[in-house]
Amino acid sequence: MLKPQDILIALAIIIQKGEQWRQTDIAAELGISPSEVNAGIKRLIHSKLMEPGFHGKKPSVVVSALKEFLIHGCKYVFPAEIGGKARGIPTSYAAPIFKNEISHKEDDKPVWPDAKGHVQGYALMPLYPSVNQIQNEVLYSLLALVDAIRSGRARERNIGIKLLEEKLNEYAA
């Protein structure tokens, strides 16, 4: 059975764009243990979202399958949890990737709760607690798009789906 951190692992591997990656590097970037990355890869392979590595090659993400899961299944398997007012890091339609796509009220921004965050809004619990520590802008953008699909209204979901497909298609080749 998939766990929320498996989505982070798959996205972190995708953005390596075919370059060599190590489980320890993925673990450090995501703030999880290398053994959890290894277990996540096994779950992703079992779920057919990754192909096992053959002949010395590393396992690879099946981008089309992951895209289908993120668009159609993620919101049911990992439903969004909305909380009250919070300070945090903008996500979903409040994230920078949505700039020029959606306007919103100043206090109507979904945020990953974080005491060091610079934005006031309402709490949208992240897929995994360590996401607010991620430094990679591309990975942050992908996770914000997933949050828009998991939590947004129809317009936000549709824009999130369009942007997610565009981003993932960049890495599918």
Work out the average pLDDT over 39-68. 93
Q: 97 and 86 in contact (C-beta within 8 Å)?
A: no
Domains of the chain: 4-76 (1.10.10.10), 79-172 (no CATH)
Q: What percent of the chain has pLDDT over 70?
A: 96
Work out the average pLDDT over 49-61. 87
Buried b (16+ CB within 10 A) or exposed e, 92-124: bbbbebbeeeeeeeeeebbbbbbeebebebbbb
Assess whether pLDDT exceeds 90 at residue 23: yes
Average pLDDT of every residue of the chain: 92
Segment 77-92, tens digit of pLDDT: 999 999 999 999 999 9
Query: CA–CA distance from 78 to each of 16, 102, 150 (Å)?
Result: 24, 24, 8
* Predicted local confidence at residue 172, as pLDDT: 74
* Predicted local confidence at residue 104, as pLDDT: 66
Assess whether pLDDT exceeds 80 at residue 173: no
Segment 114-151, tens digit of pLDDT: 999 989 999 999 999 999 889 999 999 999 999 999 99
* Predicted local confidence at residue 171, as pLDDT: 80
* Predicted local confidence at residue 108, as pLDDT: 81
* Predicted local confidence at residue 19, as pLDDT: 78
Give 59-66's long-range contacts (Cβ < 8 A, gap of 24+).
Answer: 59/13, 60/13, 61/10, 61/13, 61/14, 63/14, 63/168, 63/169, 63/171, 63/172, 64/172, 66/10, 66/14, 66/168
Segment 93-112, tens digit of pLDDT: 999 999 887 766 666 899 99
